[in-house]
Amino acid sequence: MAEALLDDTQLVEIRRDLHQIPELALQETETHDYLKSVISDWQVPWMEIRDVPELPTAILVRFQGSDPQRTLGYRTDIDGLPIDEATGLPFASKHPGKMHACGHDMHMTVALGVLHYYTVHQPKDNLVFLFQPAEEEEFGGKKLYDLGVFNDEWRPDEFYGLHDNPALPAGQIATRQGTLFAGSCVVRITFSGAGGHAAMPHLTNDALLAGASFVSAVQSIVSRNLNPVDAGVVTFGSFHAGGTVGNIIASEAKLIGTMRGLTQKNLEMMMARMTRIANGVAETFNVDVDLELEQGGYQPVENDPETTARFIDFMENADDVDFSDIDSAMTAEDFGYLLHQIPGTMFWLGVNDPQHNLHQATLSPDEAALVPGVRAITEFLDWRMTQA
């Protein structure tokens, strides 16, 4: 296999090229063009490249197997985040206010490394690669599924994908049976009342007070409505109310937050409870409320038992793979939606930057993870193609 793999220098060059051109969800035109150019340079007779006119930054690639028993799928996300990079790296983002702060540049590079291997060795089974836009928001995976791109020969029987993890050693593979990542729901809520003079509160309906009470009350969802052996989180990161001075009672309060749970059932319960609390707060403080709950495609990433058992068995027994079983995480991923439609497995790839977190302006993944990541995935896919 080694002679068919891109080497460290080649992978690092690709990763640094991609790192410099981060783009936000559904705007990944430069990224698309870079990926398309690289993939096209590797064109072979058993490979087909497909664009999606309705979602023009997406790319699908299909390999015709030499003796196919199934179709295996591999997915990577391609979008960046609205963050000003603060790494100081010589190959830092060239796009102000945008950064690959979630490591999707690493994801794409590994996917290209795996794809390149199968341009040298025709796979036994069919393979479909998805370079997916809009993971961070706009749930590109669901959009593509709803467009019908996975029909007929483009539909995988099994789907695989990774996410980088800065807390794990470079190149380590980690996953688990069951839920790997939480499902999430964006919460947008506006309380509207009647503003007025701070000295005359009895003549007003204080939207700021309603919003503050709501933030406090919804913390009871996890502490009192969720089974204590389960996990969930309710967080509000944006709260804007009132005007410009301190002696005017606010007529409007706008809040944005997130809810997360490890099962779809729990998340739906949490959404129902939040709706009741919002209506109750509005009634209590005599204000109007407009609540928007948007889950979109961010369902829990629930690994399929059969594909995951095989994946773990291979990784645990491979001589050149560092594998670890791992707990569930409250991070969310729209690959969860696809795994609710097609059985498959998501896993972590360690990138050894424990001082920094995903979505942090100083995140700097260790590029030493690239070669072992590509090797582990290609070896697994080759092995899977030999199984009944």
- CB-neighbour burial class of residue 292 (10 A; exposed 0-12, middle 13-18, buried 19+): exposed
Residue 123 has a pLDDT of 98
- 325 belongs to the catalytic site: no
Q: Strand (E) positions, the chain?
A: 47-51, 59-63, 71-77, 126-132, 158-165, 173-175, 178-192, 196-197, 232-241, 248-249, 252-261, 288-294, 301-303, 323-325, 329-332, 344-350
Q: What's the pLDDT tens digit per position in 349-376?
A: 999 999 999 999 999 999 999 999 999 9
Q: What's the pLDDT tens digit per position in 219-233?
A: 999 999 999 999 999
Q: What's the pLDDT tens digit per position in 117-173?
A: 999 999 999 999 999 999 999 999 999 999 999 999 999 999 999 999 999 999 999
The domain made up of 2-171+351-384 has a fold known as: Aminopeptidase (3.40.630)
- 105 belongs to the catalytic site: no
Q: What's the pLDDT tens digit per position in 200-212?
A: 999 999 999 999 9
What type of residue sits at position 148?
A: G
pLDDT at 243 over 80: no
pTM for the predicted model, two decimal places: 0.93
- Kindly name the residue from 77, 79, 125, 333 that is annotated as catalytic: 77
Angle between helices 370-384 and 104-120 (to 10 degrees): 50
State both tokens at 110: 């590994």
- Burial readout 6-44 (b: 16 or more C-beta within 10 A, e: otherwise): beeebbbebbbbbbbbbbbbbbbebbbebbbebbeeeee
Known binding-site positions for Mn(2+): 102, 104, 136, 163, 359
Taking residues 282-289, what's their average pLDDT?
98
pLDDT at 176 over 60: yes
Q: How far apart are CA 324 and CA 311, in angstroms?
A: 12
pLDDT at 273 over 70: yes
Q: What is the mean pLDDT of the chain?
A: 97
Task: Calculate the alpha carbon distances from 184 to 59, 64, 125, 224 in Å.
Answer: 26, 36, 34, 19
Domain coordinates in residue numbering, the chain: 2-171+351-384, 182-294
Residue 2 has a pLDDT of 46
State both tokens at 344: 């498959």
pLDDT at 23 over 80: yes
Q: How far apart are CA 136 and CA 245, in angstroms?
A: 36
Residue 3 has a pLDDT of 55
Known binding-site positions: 102, 104, 136, 163, 359
Q: What's the pLDDT tens digit per position in 38-73?
A: 999 999 999 999 999 999 999 999 999 999 999 999
- Kindly name the residue from 85, 125, 136, 304 that is annotated as catalytic: 136
| CATH topology identical between 2-171+351-384 and 182-294 | no
Residue 242 has a pLDDT of 87
What is the architecture, at CATH level 2, of domain 182-294?
A: 2-Layer Sandwich (3.30)
Q: How far apart are CA 322 and CA 169, in angstroms?
A: 9
Residue 5 has a pLDDT of 84
Q: What's the pLDDT tens digit per position in 311-349?
A: 999 999 999 999 999 999 999 999 999 999 999 999 999
